[in-house]
Chains A and B, each alone.
Chain A
Amino acid sequence: MTIPASLEPDEKVERKTPHTPSVLEARNVYKVFVARGKARTALRNVDLTIHRGEFVCLVGPSGCGKSTVLNMFAGLVMPTDGTILHDGRVIAGVNTRVGYVTQDDNLLPWRTALANVELALECKGVGRAERRERAFDYLARVGLKGSAELYPHELSGGMRKRVSIVRTLVDDSVDVILMDEPFGPLDAQTRLVLQDELLRLWQGTGRTIVFVTHDIVEAITLSDRIATFTGVPGSIKQVRDVTLPRPRDVFHIHETPGFATIYDAIWNDLREELLNERGRDAGA
């Protein structure tokens, strides 16, 4: 049994960003799920603070509750105990001030790429002409100008993913984007290209991104900080800064000085958890 990360003082992080206010906060969050009449702890005492404008990756063994944390930030799942805050206010219902990019692209199949991007603006009551212009502008930024009138089934996996990312970015009223393994189903090359595009879209916008992944290299490439989760029940084991300079070269991130150090540190945090998990499987 490892000591929950929340018990260890995370001084380094506090020192690095003393002036940026927190946007999202999970305080002593527990989540218990009941399945077939049996209660199980999914999250144990999760403490996590996301600061304004930073890119944070959550990594951890599969099933450790990373996605549940995102669902809580989105207000789709309520904690069993503890508090979830957005700008200091408790999230009590669906949080419409975040954008959510899920693992499936979740586009409406009967809407064109353009109409899909317009959807969030439509829900927020933006006028037709304005939302069309903004949606088109964002599609053009990811090279989908010529595909605006195509339906999702006519787009490739990478294109659909671009649409689903742009669909959350186009909404100005959203200052936090939650991403749940968005590049998981893509092939390795497309994934790199999309990581590059995401960084370009994000840089300089001041928006906050919380990104769940199981890929350590992806986490290092993208983020300012990486929070590693323990295995089930999930809690935060370690939070580490990624100090590699920006803008980052996605395609040659391995060659960046300092990459190996952070990679080894994260891998060490994670390896223990993976071994624990394997031990549990063998024991069962």
Chain B
Amino acid sequence: MPAREQHPQAHEAWAHERSLLMEEEHRSADHRRSRALRVFALRIGVLAGFLVLWSAASGSLIDSLFVSDPISVARSFIQISLNGTLWWHLRLTLLEMTLGYILGVVIGVGLAIVISLIWRGEQIVRPLMLGVFAIPKVALAPLVIVWFGIYLLPKVILAASLVLFIVYFSTLAGFAAVNRDLVASVRVMGASRGALFLKLILPSAAPYIFSAMRITLPGALIGAIIGEFVSSNRGVGFLIAYASSRYDTAQVFAAILSLLIFSLILNAIVSRLEKYVARWRSEEPQWGPA
């Protein structure tokens, strides 16, 4: 290139800066990778420490009949996984929980929308909703079984009841937090009530709805398990109750382990969904102190 020959100094400065940029990019990537690796290693360490403590305490500090030990739990977990017992029970619990969760979210958001359309609706029903919310749903479990039978429905309803209220309150909080100036701007543009809701109010409440969805995920599981405790002949709740009646602590823990794994998977799914819907939000800056 003739330009390069004409201005060798300028080219040198340019090459120098480019090498600086590339070096800095590499350093930042290395940094991120090593940090992620360290966090992962520490997580494994904490988990291993816990398991070691558990093994050590079992049989020495505490009677192993009550707490079992990691090896027995693992053995039991593998056993009930392989012979199909776990899946047979888990399948039903998952169904109850999923139906209850979806029902709770749909009713919670739907109710919030309907109430918002009514004049002062939220204020009018607030004491009622807070009151019902405050009742421990678990206390209603026996009654729910009496009302809705002993099969799928009562467990779905219990699961939904632990999701619904939190989703309802969060959705309303999201509606209330909509920027008034934005509402005014969009109304002046000529938006109808429906357009205002779909284009502005619902999207701005979305982060609230998603955070409620994440918080209530374990609630749905709790509802399903409680329902199974009270009355059932199948499900992880039944499996736990049955195993502990036989003092098979290892199997109780194995069943709990399956719930734990399942909860983590569900949480990951909801997080993905949330990230996808909120993809417009600013990501963490790449510069500044690590």
Interface positions of A (Cβ within 8 A of B): 74-76, 94-96, 98-100, 102, 104, 106, 108-111, 119-120, 122-124, 151, 153-154, 171, 173
Q: Which of B189, B192, B280 has the most CB of A within 10 A?
A: B189
Query: Of B182, B189, B195, which is within 8 A of A171 by CB?
Result: B189
Indicate if the CB atoms of B282 and A153 lie closer than 8 Å: yes
Query: Of B182, B188, B190, B192, which is within 8 A of A108 by CB?
Result: B182
List B185-226 residues whose CB lies under 8 Å from chain A: 185-192, 195, 199-200, 203
Interface bits B167-197 vs A (CB < 8 Å: 1, else 0): 0000000000001011011111111100100
Name the residue of chain A whose CB is nearest to the CB of B185: A106
Indicate if the CB atoms of A99 and B190 lie closer than 8 Å: no
Indicate if the CB atoms of A76 and B282 lie closer than 8 Å: no
Q: Separation in Å of the A192 CB from the closest CB of chain B?
A: 25
Complex Cα gap A158–B187 (Å): 24
Indicate if the CB atoms of B281 and A102 lie closer than 8 Å: no
Indicate if the CB atoms of B184 and A119 lie closer than 8 Å: no
Query: Of B181, B186, B281, B282, which is within 8 A of A119 by CB?
Result: B186
Complex Cα gap A106–B200 (Å): 11
A119 with B203, Cβ < 8 A, contacts A104-B181, A110-B280, A153-B281 known:
no
Chain A residue contacts of B195, Cβ below 8 A: 122-123
Indicate if the CB atoms of B188 and A98 lie closer than 8 Å: yes
Interface residues on chain B, size class? 20 to 34
Complex Cα gap A100–B281 (Å): 25
A151 with B188, Cβ < 8 A, contacts A102-B181, A106-B181, A110-B203 known:
no
Indicate if the CB atoms of A106 and B182 lie closer than 8 Å: yes
8 other A-B residue contacts (CB within 8 Å) besides A119-B186, A123-B190? A76-B188, A96-B189, A96-B190, A99-B188, A99-B189, A100-B184, A106-B185, A124-B190
Chain B residue contacts of A124, Cβ below 8 A: 189-190
Name the residue of chain B whose CB is nearest to the CB of A104: B181
Q: Separation in Å of the B63 CB from the closest CB of chain A?
A: 57
A76 with B184, Cβ < 8 A, contacts A109-B281, A123-B191, A171-B189 known:
yes
- The tally of CB-CB contacts under 8 A between chains A and B is 61
Query: Of B186, B188, B199, B200, which is within 8 A of A74 by CB?
Result: B188
Indicate if the CB atoms of B188 and A95 lie closer than 8 Å: yes
A151 with B185, Cβ < 8 A, contacts A122-B199, A123-B190 known:
no
Indicate if the CB atoms of B189 and A108 lie closer than 8 Å: no
Chain B residue contacts of A173, Cβ below 8 A: 190
Indicate if the CB atoms of B280 and A120 lie closer than 8 Å: no
Indicate if the CB atoms of B185 and A102 lie closer than 8 Å: yes
Name the residue of chain A whose CB is nearest to the CB of B206: A110
Indicate if the CB atoms of B280 and A109 lie closer than 8 Å: yes
Query: Of A104, A110, A120, which is within 8 A of B190 by CB?
Result: A120
Indicate if the CB atoms of B188 and A100 lie closer than 8 Å: yes
Query: Of B181, B184, B190, B280, which is within 8 A of A151 by CB?
Result: B280
Chain B residue contacts of A109, Cβ below 8 A: 280-281
Name the residue of chain B whose CB is nearest to the CB of A119: B189
Complex Cα gap A110–B281 (Å): 7
Name the residue of chain A whose CB is nearest to the CB of B196: A123
Chain B residue contacts of A95, Cβ below 8 A: 188
Indicate if the CB atoms of B186 and A123 lie closer than 8 Å: yes
Q: Separation in Å of the A172 CB from the closest CB of chain B?
A: 12
Q: Separation in Å of the B207 CB from the closest CB of chain A?
A: 10
Chain B residue contacts of A76, Cβ below 8 A: 184, 187-188
Chain B residue contacts of A75, Cβ below 8 A: 188
Complex Cα gap A46–B278 (Å): 46
Name the residue of chain B whose CB is nearest to the CB of A111: B280
Indicate if the CB atoms of A108 and B200 lie closer than 8 Å: yes
Complex Cα gap A10–B199 (Å): 45
Q: Separation in Å of the A128 CB from the closest CB of chain B?
A: 14
Complex Cα gap A98–B187 (Å): 11
Complex Cα gap A104–B185 (Å): 11
Complex Cα gap A250–B288 (Å): 38
Name the residue of chain B whose CB is nearest to the CB of A94: B187
Chain B residue contacts of A74, Cβ below 8 A: 184, 188
Chain A residue contacts of B181, Cβ below 8 A: 102, 104, 106
Chain B residue contacts of A119, Cβ below 8 A: 186, 189, 199
A100 with B280, Cβ < 8 A, contacts A108-B200, A120-B190, A123-B190 known:
no
Complex Cα gap A108–B200 (Å): 8
Chain A residue contacts of B190, Cβ below 8 A: 96, 120, 123-124, 173
Chain A residue contacts of B189, Cβ below 8 A: 96, 99, 119-120, 123-124, 171
Complex Cα gap A284–B278 (Å): 49
Chain A residue contacts of B191, Cβ below 8 A: 123
Name the residue of chain A whose CB is nearest to the CB of B277: A110
Chain A residue contacts of B203, Cβ below 8 A: 108, 110
Q: Separation in Å of the A162 CB from the closest CB of chain B?
A: 16
Chain A residue contacts of B282, Cβ below 8 A: 151, 153-154
Q: Separation in Å of the B145 CB from the closest CB of chain A?
A: 44
Chain B residue contacts of A108, Cβ below 8 A: 182, 199-200, 203
A-B contact pairs, 18 of them (CB 8 A): A74-B184, A74-B188, A76-B187, A94-B187, A96-B187, A96-B190, A104-B181, A106-B181, A106-B182, A108-B200, A109-B280, A120-B190, A122-B195, A122-B199, A123-B191, A123-B195, A124-B189, A153-B281
